[in-house]
Amino acid sequence: MESLLRPLTVLGGALVLTLIAGSLLDLLLRRADGRHPETPLWGLLRRCRVPFQLVLGLALLLGSHSRARVLTGHERAVERVLTLLLIGASAWLLVRMVTAAVDTGYARYAAGAGEDSARVRRVRTQVTLIRRVVTAVVGVVAVAAMLLTFPAMRAVGTSVLASAGILGIVAGIAAQSTLGNLFAGLQIAFGDTVRIGDTVVVDGEWGTVEEITLTFLVVRTWDERRITMPVSYFTSKPYENWSRGGAELTGTVFLYLDHGAPVPLLRDELDSYLRRRPAWDGRKSALVVTDATATAIQVRATMTAKDSDDLWTLRCEVREHLTSWLHLHHPYAFPRLTTSEAPPRP
């Protein structure tokens, strides 16, 4: 009877202490979050409750399993399993704590940056990559710690360290592309060349940067496609970043018209139409003849907008309106091949 009561008492006591400690921690964090609503740190730390309970419970079991005589005859195996679980839970808890601290810093910065969306996107990109780097490093260290708990792995570790130079050279050659992408991701994060939310043109495709990892970058195109590219592309090849230095843009609309087209009237109509469009930011607009051939003239209308989405909409609207206005009021303004007598001009 005692052989059964002792393990149950130890397991039950560890479970009760773990639940009580987790509830107290959650209560303290909830009160701190209520007293300091200006910072999200305490609310984010509440996500650490489950890994904290696992670490505490596994530590209690690891310290008392030998006295509890759980699975008599298999004490070494139980100890090793508990140690592995404790290492994994500790890594999970550390990642949650670092994530809470990093997210808190980003939230404070975003709140203080106001309407400077470019700076916010830059910090958001850096925060995302920092989280990924911390998770990867903690994961590698945790796996290495788990392996070192096995005596055979500790014995192998000596020979591995002795040949670390050769292995490092071989690994460097084999993982040259992966390491290149890794360093390119860090360069993008802290070099501020491209950020999450930037509008870019890559290989003739126009889209928005949706995700940046340590090895690849995802661009969401206007038709909802996702283009996945290695981050090294953005450090070795030219591309267009429409959000670099500010989101404001200038767009163009080209029309090909007859030599007798009423360009001054068309210019007035453009100015009048833009004043009625909410997508125009009011900075500037113009309409000029940029080229002339034997059969037509090239007319360029320019306009400005606060971002790429508004500019795309405005360009489409201006092109449609000017074409419709000319067709309705000045149909002779379109280029034509004369095969018969042309109608007289009004």
Express each pLDDT in 69-110 by its tens digit. 555 556 677 778 888 888 888 888 888 888 888 888 777 777
Radius of gyration, alpha carbons of the chain? 33
Q: Is the Cα torsion angle 233, 235, 238, 242 positive or negative in sign?
A: positive
pLDDT at 319 over 70: yes
138, with CB counted inside 10 A (0-12, 13-18, 19+), is middle
Spatial separation of the C-alpha atoms in residues 209 and 203, rounded to whole Å: 14
Packing angle, helices 263-274 and 308-329, rounded to 10 = 140
Mean of pLDDT values over 316-336: 90
**Helix axis angle, 117-148 to 176-191, nearest 10°:** 140
Fold of 150-244: SH3 type barrels. (2.30.30)
In the predicted structure, residue 161 carries a pLDDT above the cut 50 = no
Is 202's pLDDT higher than 50?
Answer: yes
**Non-local CB neighbours of 262 within 8 Å, separated by 6+ positions:** 330, 333
Threshold 0.85, pTM exceeds:
no
Which structure tokens are listed for 267?
Answer: 């210019």
**Structural domain spans, the chain:** 2-113, 150-244, 249-333
Backbone angles phi, psi at 232, to 5 degrees: -65, -20
- Mean of all residue pLDDT scores within the chain: 77
Per-residue HEC secondary structure of 117-165 comes to HHHHHHHHHHHHHHHHHHHHHHHHHHHHHHHHCCHHHHHHHHHHHHCHH
Q: Is pLDDT at 160 greater than 90 in this prediction?
A: no
Among 100-114, 135-149, 241-255, whose mean pLDDT is lowest?
100-114
Q: How far apart, in whole angstroms, are the C-alpha atoms of residue 321 and residue 323?
A: 5
Say yes or no to pLDDT of 183 above 70: no
Asked if residue 333 lies in contact with residue 345, where contact means CB atoms within 8 angstroms, the answer is no
Over residues 160-174, the mean pLDDT reads 47
Strands of the 249-257 sheet, one edge to the other? 249-257, 297-305, 285-292
Higher-confidence residue of 23 and 153: namely 23
Task: Look at residue 7 in the predicted model and tell me its pLDDT.
Answer: 61
SS3 of 187, please?
A: helix
What is the CB neighbour count within 10 angstroms for residue 132?
16
- Answer positive or negative: Cα dihedral of 14, 15, 18, 23: negative
Tell the CATH topology of 249-333.
Alpha-Beta Plaits (3.30.70)
Q: What is the pLDDT of residue 321?
A: 92
* Cβ neighbours, 10 Å, residue 25: 17
